[in-house]
Amino acid sequence: MKRLLHTEDHEWSISKISIAILLAFIFSVSLRYIWVDQFQNAESFKWLGQLMINTNDGYYFAEGARDILAGGHQELDSSPVHDPAAQITALFAKLLPFTFETIILWIPAFLGSLIVVPLVLIGQSLRQPLMGVVAAFVGSITWSYYNRTMVGYYDTDMLTIVLPTFVVWAIISNIRYMENRFLPTAPIFVSLYLFWYPQSVSLNLAIVGILFIYTVIFHRKDMFNYKLLSLLFISLLPIDIFVKLIIIFAVFGIIFYYENGEHYGEERVKGDGKDEVVVLKAKKRKLNMNLDKYILGLFIVSGIALLFSGVFNNLIHQVVGYIVRDVSSTVTNEGLMGSLHFYNVVQTVREASAIPFETFANRISGHEATFWISSLGVILMMFRWRVLLVTIPMVGLGYLAHKNGLRFTVYAVPIYALGLGYLIALSVKGMRNRYVKYSIAAALTALAIYPNYKHIEAYKVPVVFNNNEVAVLDQLKYEATREDYVLAWWDYGYPIRYYSDVKTLVDGGQHSGAINYPVSFSLMRKPLESANMARLAVEYREMSRYHLAHMMEDRNLTNPDELLKSLYNNSVQLPEKTRDIYYYLPLRMMDIFPTVGLFSQIDLKSGNQAIKPFFYQSRSIRDDGRTIHMGSGISFDKQNATVKIGNTERPIDSFYITQYDQSGKLQVHRLQSRAGANLSIIYMKSYGKMLLVDNFTLNSTYVQLFVLENIPTDLFEPVIMTPIAKVFKLKK
């Protein structure tokens, strides 16, 4: 069987491998230019003459890099100045002759394309270079990997798959060559991976765990594997990366010195040369036996240190968070005054949702047919080279995507690309004519690339904000100070901090149910209640007291409803004002308005949804004279002033028409129909959309301030008013 699975069984020259890597890298970057070419003339996607990035989280790292270059940041502003992604970006900005906007736009394409290097090197280490080259060309542009490393997708993903693939290559090289010079490679890449992406601890533990099992089963007498495992155990320890690397190199230096030095032959003995050789060999054997004891000792000590280091606690936490999810929609926070229940944010994250098999297969291989072919290749190559069993954790993590979210598919991409490369190498096995052989391999590779290319061509993902929205945030930068807060939903936290250089309460990394509650409350409740909660949330944040339980404790309250009631009737004792608060209310939030409300419509004592407001928006409006059809079985009878929802007919309180005049001022006309009815319609004529809302939603701060511009002047001051986004300053 193994004979049938053999392919070329030789290595390419360094120059040939280098050329292959360069060509694959150029190919990867070139296909990523397609998105740039598609939107090069879209001025609404540009800021400061450059296309903007297309991932929200990218603004987090951009903020950190900006502050590094500026030489400082504000306390409690959440700027990631110590994050590796921000640091490497700042370094590139200092060294390269490009604008900062150009660097953050293109850096994911160049760093992400580095995936071709370990893939080609894996093929070379297995003496199957064609396999590695095919994998590099296919894997670098496969559906999900492209999505998360395309131009503009400025995030840690640009190295999150590159580094573990380097780890796999380093382990393969060590096991295949069994040479001390390779020993530091795997622990170095594991250390770098953990430094770059701390959440990778579970994947790294799994890879090293598989290597340990592999050693016990197949190589338990090979001391080299124990040396490698010892260094890998050290690389997994939760200590500073520089300390870790010093220890790794120190241990490696000792091993290399004693095993590769000639100190064992320094002592000469009397007698003929033959006797001398015998004695020297005996001394070397004795030394090696002693070294074996030391290596086993190092293996045991490093293993025990890892076992008690706490990293397995992180592994358990991640398993609970990503796999064994609580079916409840709430999470419980043990506050100072007892348990408070908040909405579970995981329920609202699309990336954490199950995906259909077709999407799962396409994201891993570009097409279902390619997926099944690559699956066969993965199985065969693991049978052919047992060391490839260390890739099982990456494949397994990719498979989690089918039930636990599309974000995980990317981990399986490089391994499946190798599986495809192996099958293509097998298919041209034995062909003597090199031209025919490589032409067929290229044709088969092109077939695998094609569906991924079509995906890239169709994947016209927009930028995070258009330039009109950015213009609002840029203007806000000159209205607010760096110590002021901007209250907005967490989706907009990072861009707001980057463009306006202010503080926020929530963002893409700080949006648990407990943290989201005050912001959701401020957006969804009446202006007075909103203003009180906003002031409480900001001032308590500055005191590093984030929880509602802290607010309750300071007021000797045991029931959260008592705190909320004091906000309603304005009897709450507010902390001293130390800074200004601005509300950022964008048009785009209307699309997620019901989701925003879920976080504050919950009963904090039971976890049940206490308030179930009604909100419906429609862009599909058809007026036949008597009836306005709003889609989804909803229509408005103009003559009877009733709205029909399915088979239910209900009266409306008011019909609002909003429209911007030629001067850009919003004009609002209200036609009251039946006072006291719990539904109203808002026809946003300038936007071409219609809203059907209940009184709770109608009275919310977002609707009152953004949609109707019904501004309570004792509480709010309009600062920036545009149709796309509006900013209000809190006076309270």
| Rounded Cα gap, residues 544 and 553, in angstroms | 15
| Rounded Cα gap, residues 414 and 28, in angstroms | 14
- 263: tokens are 């100190």
User: Is 43 contained in some domain?
Assistant: yes
Domain boundary, last residue among 458, 487, 518: 458
Q: Which residue has the higher pLDDT, 356 or 449?
A: 449
- 530: tokens are 């909103």
Domain boundary, last residue among 431, 458, 485: 458
Report yes or no: 686 and 660 within 8 Å, Cβ to Cβ. Answer: yes
Report yes or no: 698 and 680 within 8 Å, Cβ to Cβ. Answer: yes
User: Is 560 contained in some domain?
Assistant: no
Structural domain tally of the chain?
2
Q: At what angle do helices 413-427 and 357-365 cross, to 10 degrees?
A: 70
- 643: tokens are 């709205």
Among the ranges given (8-17, 407-416, 524-533), the one the predictor scored with the smallest mean pLDDT: 8-17
User: What's the alpha-carbon Rg for the chain, to the nearest Å?
Assistant: 31
List, in sequence order, every residue forming a beta bridge with 683; answer none if it has no partner: 657, 690
Q: What is the amino acid identity at position 440? A: I
pLDDT for position 262: 47
Q: Tell me which H or E stretch contains 130.
A: helix 129-139
| Rounded Cα gap, residues 380 and 6, in angstroms | 11
Per-residue buried b or exposed e for 40-62, using 16+ beta carbons within 10 Å of the residue's own CB: eeeeebbbeebbbbbbbbbbbbb
Length of the chain: 732
Q: Which residue has the higher pLDDT, 74 or 362?
A: 362
User: Is 508 contained in some domain?
Assistant: no
User: Is 605 contained in some domain?
Assistant: no
Domain boundary, last residue among 408, 425, 458: 458
User: Is 565 contained in some domain?
Assistant: no
User: Is 463 contained in some domain?
Assistant: no
User: Is 501 contained in some domain?
Assistant: no
Is the predicted pLDDT of residue 268 greater than 50, yes or no?
no
pLDDT for position 655: 95
pLDDT for position 600: 94
pLDDT for position 266: 40
| Rounded Cα gap, residues 68 and 447, in angstroms | 45
Mean pLDDT of 712-720: 96
User: Is 85 contained in some domain?
Assistant: yes
Per-residue buried b or exposed e for 134-162, using 16+ beta carbons within 10 Å of the residue's own CB: bbbbbbbbbbbbbbbbbbbbbbbbbbbbb
Report yes or no: 156 and 195 within 8 Å, Cβ to Cβ. Answer: no
pLDDT for position 273: 46
Is the predicted pLDDT of residue 269 greater than 50, yes or no?
no
Q: Which residue has the higher pLDDT, 655 or 260?
A: 655
Residue 618's pLDDT band (boundaries 50, 70, 90)?
very high
Range of the domain at 423: 2-317+351-458
Among the ranges given (220-224, 273-277, 535-539), the one the predictor scored with the smallest mean pLDDT: 273-277
pLDDT for position 263: 45
State the pairing for strand pair 654-660/679-684.
Answer: parallel
Is the predicted pLDDT of residue 8 greater than 70, yes or no?
no
pLDDT for position 344: 79
Return the ∠ at Cα 440 (arms to 438 and 446), rounded to 5°.
Answer: 100
From the CB of residue 483, how many other CB atoms can be counted at a distance below 10 Å?
A: 15
Is the predicted pLDDT of residue 4 greater than 60, yes or no?
no
Could you please report the per-residue DSSP string of 510-537? S--HHHHHHHHHHHHS-HHHHHHHHHHH
pLDDT for position 264: 42
Mean pLDDT of 84-113: 97
| Rounded Cα gap, residues 497 and 500, in angstroms | 5
Among the ranges given (48-57, 190-199, 284-293, 626-635), the one the predictor scored with the smallest mean pLDDT: 284-293
Report yes or no: 344 and 333 within 8 Å, Cβ to Cβ. Answer: no
Region of 676 (left: φ > 0; alpha: ψ -120 to 50; beta: rest) is: left
Long-range contacts of 513-516 (CB under 8 A, 24+ apart): 513/330, 513/331, 513/333, 513/342, 513/343, 513/344, 513/345, 513/599, 514/333, 514/340, 514/342, 514/546, 514/547, 514/548, 515/546, 516/342, 516/343, 516/345, 516/490, 516/599, 516/600
pLDDT for position 329: 52
- Average pLDDT value for the chain: 90
Mean pLDDT of 509-533: 94
Report yes or no: 437 and 431 within 8 Å, Cβ to Cβ. Answer: yes
